[in-house]
Amino acid sequence: MPSLDLIGSSPKFRALLEVVERVSPADFTVLIQGETGTGKEVVARCIHAASPRRQNRFVALNCAAIPAALLESDLFGHERGAFTGAVAQNMGRFQRADRGTLFLDEIGELPLELQPKLLRVLQEKEFERLGSGRTHHADVRVIAATNQDLERMVKERKFRADLYYRLNVFTITLPPLRERAEDIPALVEYFVQMFSREMGKRIETIPSEVMEVLKLHDWPGNIRELENVIKRAVIMSTGPVLRSTLHELKRLPGQTSPTAKRTLAEAEREHIVGVLRDTRWVLGGGNGAAARLGIPRTTLVYRMRKLGIAREQGSKSFRGRLSGLPDLPTDLCDGQKQSHLAGAEESIKLAFPQVGRA
């Protein structure tokens, strides 16, 4: 069950909370628009949790995640034998959400031929299961979400106008994170606390330089991207100071975060290789990779062997080859910047506020 915490205090965010409060008790359909990762699903869950339907189910369906051919039976159910492979009767999500809320994510992906059926159930509260002529009833509040421009899709005849107007009774538009950057520090603290608790770590300090970079990044993946970056930083942190993995952020706007798909081993491997390149594969000594990573040389050798890191081909002439290349990503954790950061750690000791602010 995902968390229902909504963190933020910027004017845009407060306005959003007010709208959520206002639409929750009413029973009309809500359309939530916003870029990926802006919190569409968590807002839908909050609306349900604050509505008179809260005792009943919240059922979610991502229309883009299910093959078009299976969507109809997924939504409305099927009788046994309705199609090849329908070995048992299935009641469908509308029926499961009876007296509750059905969240239809990525509604723009709903195939055109299914749209009249959705319109009918919204208007008449009636539908038929596949393979049966019997009419079923379900009392469902639909909350739909999209990151597409449905109005334009209507003009391009990719989305039915009648369904659009039926869904568009009340629209909530979630702002991208870059438009409410004031909320970033509170979100960072919230996620640091959440993940360190989950991983049994104690992180007391977020270096101010790290926070500055986080505030300036444009977050194409919005809160989900921020959450992933912080998760990775908490994973990499061994002491009470949040370890930064800021080199990740030096991406072009519009690129999605690679962190979601990367495993811990991959992240660790990439970090170690980066430091090894910086130190030209010198492991020991005061300026060696082990010292920079803050681990004994033997531990580094062990980690390298375990992660299959071998000295790169031609790495001896690395310096020569490097001159013509663009800047390698640098991590605030390593090199000369470490001492710089150490000073900041002394002066900025963030006291974490209690979680659960709404």
Ligand X SMILES: Nc1ncnc2c1ncn2[C@@H]1O[C@H](COP(=O)(O)OP(=O)(O)O)[C@@H](O)[C@H]1O
Residues that bind ligand X (CB under 6 A): 2-3, 5-8, 34, 36-42, 223-224, 227
> For residue 220, how far is the Cα from the chain centroid?
11
Q: Does 227 bind Mg ion (CB under 5 A)?
A: no
Count of C-beta atoms within a 10 Å radius of residue 181? 16
Per-residue x/- mask for Mg ion, residues 8 to 47, rule CB under 5 A? ---------------------------------x------
Q: How far apart are CA 274 and CA 342, in angstroms?
A: 21
Contact of 268 with 307, CB cutoff 8 Å:
yes
Per-residue CA distances from 53 to 5, 57, 65, 132, 165 (Å)? 19, 8, 26, 29, 24
**89 versus 148: smaller Cβ distance to ligand X:** 148
Q: Looking at residue 296, what DSSP letter applies?
A: -
**144 versus 300: smaller Cβ distance to Mg ion:** 144
Which of the choices ligand X, Mg ion, none does residue 227 contact, using the CB cut-off of 5 to 8 A by kind? ligand X
Which of the choices ligand X, Mg ion, none does residue 350 contact, using the CB cut-off of 5 to 8 A by kind? none
**206 versus 226: smaller Cβ distance to Mg ion:** 226
**6 versus 295: smaller Cβ distance to ligand X:** 6
Which of the choices Mg ion, ligand X, none does residue 168 contact, using the CB cut-off of 5 to 8 A by kind? none
Instruction: Characterise 37 by phi-psi region: left (phi > 0), alpha (psi -120 to 50), beta (else).
Output: left
**41 versus 270: smaller Cβ distance to Mg ion:** 41
Q: How far is the CB of 8 from Mg ion (least distance, A)?
A: 18
Q: How far is the CB of 215 from ligand X (least distance, A)?
A: 16
Which of the choices Mg ion, ligand X, none does residue 356 contact, using the CB cut-off of 5 to 8 A by kind? none
Q: How far is the CB of 41 from Mg ion (least distance, A)?
A: 4
Contact of 44 with 158, CB cutoff 8 Å:
no
Q: How far apart are CA 208 and CA 242, in angstroms?
A: 10
Q: Which residues pair with 166 in a beta bridge?
A: none
Q: Looking at residue 55, what DSSP letter applies?
A: T
Binding site for Mg ion (CB under 5 A): 41
